[in-house]
Structure formats: structure tokens, C-alpha cells
Amino acid sequence: MTAKAADGKEVFKTERHYHPQATNCKDNKMLYGAQVKTQYIRDTSLQPFETKAESFEIPLPEGVRAVDVTVSLTYEINKPDNKIEIFKVTRKVALDR
Amino acid sequence: MRIMLLLLIAAVVVMPLSNVEAQKAKSIDELAKMFDSSQCKSCHAEIYAQWENSHHARSLMGVQDGLMMTPLAKKGSTPFSPDDPKKATLKTFPCFKCHLPQAVAHAEDSFAVEYAEALLAGDKAKVGKLKITCIVCHNEKAIIHKLSDGYPEKGVLYGSKDIASHPDATFKKVKKSQIMDHAIMCGQCHGLGPNLEFENPVQCATLYGSYEHNYLSKGGQQQCQECHMQKINGKADHLIAPNWNDLEGTKKLLQNAIAMDVQTVGYEWLRKGGDLRPMIVVNTKINQNAGHRIPDG
């Protein structure tokens, strides 16, 4: 998710990663590769019949009264540059009515 | 002198061994031939075409032709890797359990040597001959109660019903499989968790575990086939999507499977008297309608 001010400057950017994460149980370093993965240490994947809810609070810098917020949900296949953008929502959000 | 001789010969009928336990495959070509399903194409053209585009038809190089098992053939790269590809055995590739189950029961170690060499040589044409073919699902993997129902028979296919005379030259009969329409058919390969029967643990797909423990438990009651093999022209779809090489098609599937709601507000939050803090809040809610976690492993 990113929020940009009127001049295009990025005010805020953050990511959430949804997937099961495994180690080899010998240390706490996450690993990829079936030949070494041994046990999940954490699972943040999307579960059936469950809602994954997030609430992002973005404090605005001095003088900025409105931002363009972009929320993008992407599926990465094996490597970050092989991906599918499932949804992209862009919205102008202002402090003033 | 006449002698009446009663000669009793009890002859043992020698059954050709190949009838019971077929010769094991020594090479990639031999294993590929043993499970070759190209003859099915002439009558099951539509299903065949769907399957050809599926991950099952490229089970050793599923995404973008990646030779994913190469590290196992490379000295020092994984705990399973041999010092020399010539020393590779079936144990070098625990992955065969699910990616090429026919190798486990029907190939010799010399097959693994040729496979290891093909991986190191980047020989995609050769590796690409090895697949989860029609015969793997409709024979080899069609019976799980082997003590009570016996092993899959030679020359018999297993489907959703009995067909006394099936017009194929080799497979003259179709018998009903008890599991063809059940999730466990797929669960044999789609993983419950770590595979602990190997000398080092192996963990790849765990999606069947997710289905068993986190879908059924919440009231979900569909089998994998009901979602992934919906009928097209009256026949179960053998593309068994998603096909990760088709980014556009998969995008549509994911858009149908996942819902994302975004709510936003801008306001000035009063931390304490006189301390107004300009703030934007973005709330997201994501849901999905699959029978398991997304993504898996």
C-alpha cells in the first residue's frame, strides 16, 4: 500500500505478506526449497472462511492535506518479478470536506 | 516284456514374470514409455488437450519450464545431493513421491542417474518427457485401500464407473475407483505437512492438510474435483486450473476467488487538547472462497 501527496511524493509505503513460512528447525531463518523446509514457523496465508483485516494509520506530514492512496494485491509465483496483480484500488483521501 | 508305465507329469505352468511384476524402467525413455498416454488422445481429445496444458503434464518443470530439482543433482547443494550424478539413486529425489510417483515403484536407480545428468545438462526436452499422465491417475494412483481392494491391475483403468469393454487396445476395461471423486485422490500428492519418511524431512505442498483441518472444520463440504474439475461439455475439466504459466487466465480465477474491500477516511485525530494530528486511515478486508489456504507452501 502506498500513499502519495499532491506533488507525487510518497508519504507512506508498507507491505503485508500472506503465505506460510518454513524453517529447517535448526535455526530461525526462513527457507525456500522442499528439500530443506521442515516446519512452518508462521502462516499468514489467506484461510478459507476467514477475513484478513488490516488497518493502516498514516500520519500526514506538515502541510499535506490530501493523498492518493493505492492498495494493490499481487500474487507472486516462485519469484517476485513473476506476478499477477489481482486488484488495484486508487483513491484520493483528504482531510478537508 | 511289457511294462505298463504310468507316467505322471505334473508340469508347473511357468507364468512369464512380466505379467506379475513388470520389468522396471532403467532409463527416462523406458519410464516415459511405460506410462505413455498418447493413445488416449484419439478418443478423449478434449480431455487430452486440457491435460496437456496442465501442471500435471509438466510435473518436473511446472512453472516457466524451471528445472526445479537441479539442486538435488548438484554436489553439495542439498542434503540429498550425490557427490557425482553417476551415484544418484531414487533416494536422491524424494520429490518423486508426488512429482513422479511412477518412478518410485517402477524405475531403477539407473533412471535416477540419467535424470540427474539431464538436470545438470539443462536438458529440458528429456526431463519434459516425464509427466503425471492419464495412466498415473487412472491406474497407479486410483486405489488406496490396497489390502482390501488389491493393487491396480495391468490393462485396467479406473474411473467413476465400471465399463465392461473399453475400446482402448491396452486398457480393455474400466473399473470403478472408490476415490476418483474424493479429495483424497488429490491428497495423495497435495501434501499434509512435512514428509518424515525420508532420511531428511521434505516439505512441499501442504494443501491437503489445509483442506482436511481448516476447511472441513469450518463447514466446507466440497471435494477438490467439484471446484477444480467442473464439467466442460459434460466432461470433467482436466486443465485442473490454475495454470501458472497463463497469467491472464489465472488473474481471472484469482479475481473470482478473492474479494478485497478498501475503506478510507481522512480526519484530524485529537491526541490531547490542542494536539490535532492529521491522519489517513486505510482499512482492508480480504476474503477468499477456496477449499484451503491461498497460497500454499
Can you give the pLDDT at residue B21? 52
Residue B282 contacts A, CB cutoff 8 Å: yes
How many folded domains does chain A comprise? 2
Find residues 260-279 of chain B whose CB sits inside 8 Å of chain A.
Answer: 260, 262, 264-268, 277-279
Q: Tell me: do A66 and A80 sit in the same domain.
A: yes
Q: Tell me: do A25 and A49 sit in the same domain.
A: yes
In a domain, B266, yes or no: no
- Over residues A57-77, the pLDDT tens digits come to 999 999 999 999 999 999 999
In a domain, B290, yes or no: no
Residue B138 · residue B123 · CB < 8 Å:
no
Print the domain residue range for A10. 1-16+55-97
Residue in B with minimal Cα distance to A36? B202
In a domain, B270, yes or no: no
In the predicted model, is pLDDT for residue B12 greater than 80?
no
Q: Which residues pair with B163 in a beta bridge?
A: B174
In a domain, B101, yes or no: yes
Q: Tell me: do A84 and A72 sit in the same domain.
A: yes
Task: Determine the residue type at B251.
Answer: K
Residue in A with minimal Cα distance to B255? A86
| ipTM score for this prediction | 0.96
User: Residue B190 in 3-state DSSP?
Assistant: helix
First to last CA, chain A: 24
Can you give the pLDDT at residue B297? 87
Stretch B262-283: mean pLDDT: 97
Q: Tell me: do A38 and A25 sit in the same domain.
A: yes
CA distance B132 to B153: 18
In a domain, B43, yes or no: yes
Q: Which residues pair with A87 in a beta bridge?
A: A73
CA distances from B226 to B229, B230, B240, B249, B290 (A): 6, 6, 11, 19, 11
Q: What is the mean pLDDT of chain A?
A: 96
Can you give the pLDDT at residue A59? 96
A–B interface: beta-carbon pairs under 8 A = 165
Could you say which of B254, B282, B284 has the minimum Cβ distance to residue A86? B254
Can you give the pLDDT at residue B222? 98
- Min CA distance, B132 vs chain A (Å)? 19
Give me B109's grid cell: 536407480
Find residues 5-24 of chain A whose CB sits inside 8 Å of chain B.
Answer: 12, 18-20, 22, 24
- Over residues B144-202, the pLDDT tens digits come to 999 999 999 999 999 999 999 999 999 999 999 999 999 999 999 999 999 999 999 99
Stretch B96-107: mean pLDDT: 98
Can you give the pLDDT at residue A29? 97
Q: What angle do CA B9, B10, B11 make, to 5 degrees?
A: 105
Task: Determine the residue type at B56.
Answer: H
How many folded domains does chain B comprise? 1
Give me B234's grid cell: 459434460
Of B114, B115, B116, B96, the C-alpha closest to B106 is B96
In a domain, B209, yes or no: yes
Print the domain residue range for B146. 21-258
Residue B289 · residue A48 · CB < 8 Å:
yes
Q: Tell me: do A10 and A33 sit in the same domain.
A: no
In a domain, B276, yes or no: no
In a domain, B65, yes or no: yes
In the predicted model, is pLDDT for residue B47 greater than 60?
yes
